[in-house]
Amino acid sequence: MTIPKPLVQLNQLFICISIIFSLTISPWVLLVPISVGIITLVTKQNPIIRSGKFFLSKPAESYPPEDKDQQLFNQWIATICLSVAFLFFLLGQQVLTVVFSVMVFIAAVTALLGYCIGCQIRYKFKMWQYKQNNK
């Protein structure tokens, strides 16, 4: 199953904007992308992507496809890192809050620019799994 690339980019932009707001307004804003991430991982349906479908100007199949499994893997990484950032915020560790938030921000921005760090991590993991299973 695939997801149209503009919808994936919409989700990445949502994450970037949420992190900017969390760093400039309040770390409590992190609860928004964390909640979206949890909903996505539990239901396998991203509310941002589902909402964005209504704004596509062409049929979904006419856009470049992105792999749904890869996007779920990336969502796991983002949700875990943002949750860790929020936990550090609750523990009063502002520097670590910023570090983990900025890591996700950089990953989302680089994905918007065309390089997917999560894809690279998943590829390396899949290669490691393959090698372990074929010893």
Q: What is the pLDDT of residues 87-114, one digit of tens each?
A: 999 999 999 999 999 999 999 999 999 9
Supply the DSSP symbol for 91: T
User: In the prediction, which pLDDT does 67 show?
Assistant: 94
User: Torsions phi, psi of 67, nearest 5?
Assistant: -70, 125
Q: Rounded to an integer, what distance in angstroms lies between the CA atom of residue 22 and that of residue 126?
A: 33
Supply the DSSP symbol for 45: -
Helix (H) or strand (E) holding 62: none
Q: Rounded to an integer, what distance in angstroms lies between the CA atom of residue 35 and that of residue 79?
A: 8
With cut-offs at 50, 70 and 90, classify the pLDDT of residue 39: very high
> Per the structure block, which two tokens stand in for 31?
């609860």
With cut-offs at 50, 70 and 90, classify the pLDDT of residue 1: confident
User: In the prediction, which pLDDT does 135 show?
Assistant: 81
Residues 79-86, mean pLDDT to the nearest whole number: 98
* 8: nearest Cα among 81, 104, 112, 83: 112
Q: What is the CA radius of gyration of the chain?
A: 16
